[in-house]
């Protein structure tokens, strides 16, 4: 019998060949270290446009009338506090185009090892600069935490977060830091600590738990448009922005397409969108959790 020639079509999105990008070595690194940093996926012009889109968001200029209160940490202009807007994709078309993109979805699918990817939620995060003398200022800190520590009401512990740098980012401007390999430590107690400010205290608390490795604190040094992808159990956090420019990023929290509701004492703003009679096993699917991969026309 004549064998049929099978030639798979390469997955090329926004000019990026996903098959060439996500090699076995990349998968090995992601699963060994709990995160992986991509080359530039967005150019400087796109990064500048997305910074402007974020500035519009903070000015309250929204592209829809949907409510912004689900997961917002809004602060007065001039405050050194971190600003955070979850579900920014409802409010800004430019941001949504990126945070729900097939490009990130296809990469997320490969890293998680799943066929289908939906957005769990996205975030726009803005960390004001407090200048070089602001080292004692804790307001810009984002506490060591595990993303899944906030998401215990979902069935997927292996979600993948894409953190998109909108300017060159390093320790000076409060870039993200990850604890290498910490995804292998399992879910730590009370690790829903994004909003905590005492990085040293949190480190001591987590290091007192049963962690099975060294505390290796590694900065994610990124050029504008590079993306860091991390596992939902990887500990990460960040310190103050000691420049005078804001540190901005977009974050896309991606989940396997079959993720469902798992009742837990912990509440999450996403649960509202399941409706009043949410039941165990109910899929997080539909317009609030758009499918990113494969793309739907």
Ligand X SMILES: O=C(O)CCC(=O)C(=O)O
| Residues in touch with ligand X (CB under 6 A) | 125, 142, 147, 161, 163, 176, 194, 236, 238, 249, 251
**Cβ distance to ligand X smaller for residue 114 or 227:** 227
**Rounded Cα–Cα distance for residues 219 and 179 (Å):** 9
CB of 31 to ligand X, least distance (A): 18
Residue with Cβ nearer ligand X (199 or 251): 251
The residues near 19 (Cβ < 8 Å, ≥ 6 apart) are 10, 11
Q: Which is nearer to ligand X, 137 or 147 (CB)?
A: 147
Q: Which residue is nearest to ligand X (CB)?
A: 238
Nearer to ligand X, 125 or 222 (CB): 125
Give the max Cα distance, the chain.
76
Pairing between β-strand 12-13 and β-strand 176-179 as defined by DSSP bridges: unpaired
In the complex, minimum distance from the CB of residue 8 to ligand X, in angstroms, rounded to a whole number: 32
We find the least distance from the C-beta atom of residue 150 to ligand X, in angstroms, to be: 9
C-alpha 201/C-alpha 126 separation (Å) is 24
Q: Are residues 284 and 270 in contact, defined by beta-carbon separation less than 8 angstroms?
A: yes
- Measured from the CB atom, the residue of 91 and 142 that comes closer to ligand X is 142
CB of 194 to ligand X, least distance (A): 6
Q: Which stretches of 189-294 are assigned E, i.e. beta strand?
A: 217-219, 226-231, 236-238, 247-256, 291-293
Separation in Å, CA 53 to CA 163, 247, 249: 16, 14, 11
Closest approach, Cβ 1 to ligand X, in A, equals 52
The Cβ of residue 268 has, within 10 Å, a number of other Cβ atoms equal to: 18
Reference 69, options 90, 97, 93; nearest CA is: 90
CB 249 to ligand X: min, Å: 5
* Closest CB to ligand X among residues 11, 35: 35
Q: Looking at beta carbons only, is 56 or 73 nearer to ligand X? A: 73
Q: Given its phi and psi angles, is residue 275 left (phi above 0), alpha (psi -120 to 50 degrees) or beta?
A: left
CB of 4 to ligand X, least distance (A): 44
């Amino acid at each position: 019998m004549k064998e049929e020639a099978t030639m798979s079509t390469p997955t090329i999105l926004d000019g990026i060949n996903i098959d060439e990008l996500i090699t076995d070595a990349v998968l090995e690194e992601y699963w060994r270290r709990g995160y992986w940093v991509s080359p530039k996926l967005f150019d400087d012009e796109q990064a500048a446009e997305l910074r402007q889109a974020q500035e519009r968001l903070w000015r309250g200029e929204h592209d829809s009338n949907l409510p912004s209160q689900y997961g917002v940490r809004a602060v007065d202009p001039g405050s050194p506090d971190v600003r955070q807007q979850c579900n920014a994709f409802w409010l800004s078309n430019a941001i949504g185009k990126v945070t729900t993109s097939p490009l990130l979805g296809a990469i997320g699918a490969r890293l998680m090892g799943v066929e289908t990817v939906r957005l769990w939620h996205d975030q726009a995060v803005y960390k004001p600069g407090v200048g070089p003398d602001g080292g004692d200022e804790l307001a810009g800190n984002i506490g060591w935490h595990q993303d899944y520590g906030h998401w215990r009401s979902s069935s997927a512990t292996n979600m993948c977060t894409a953190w998109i740098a909108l300017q060159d980012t390093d320790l000076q401007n409060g870039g993200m830091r990850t604890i290498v390999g910490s995804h292998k430590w399992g879910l730590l107690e009370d690790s829903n600590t994004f909003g905590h400010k005492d990085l040293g205290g949190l480190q001591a608390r987590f290091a007192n738990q049963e962690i099975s490795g060294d505390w290796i604190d590694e900065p994610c040094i990124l050029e504008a448009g590079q993306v860091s992808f991390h596992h939902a159990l990887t500990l990460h956090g960040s310190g103050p922005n000691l420049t005078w420019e804001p540190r901005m990023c977009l974050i896309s929290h991606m989940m396997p397409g079959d993720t469902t509701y798992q009742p837990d004492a912990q509440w999450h703003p996403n649960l509202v969108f399941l409706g009043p009679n949410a039941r165990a096993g109910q899929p997080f699917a539909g317009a609030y959790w758009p499918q990113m991969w494969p793309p739907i026309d």
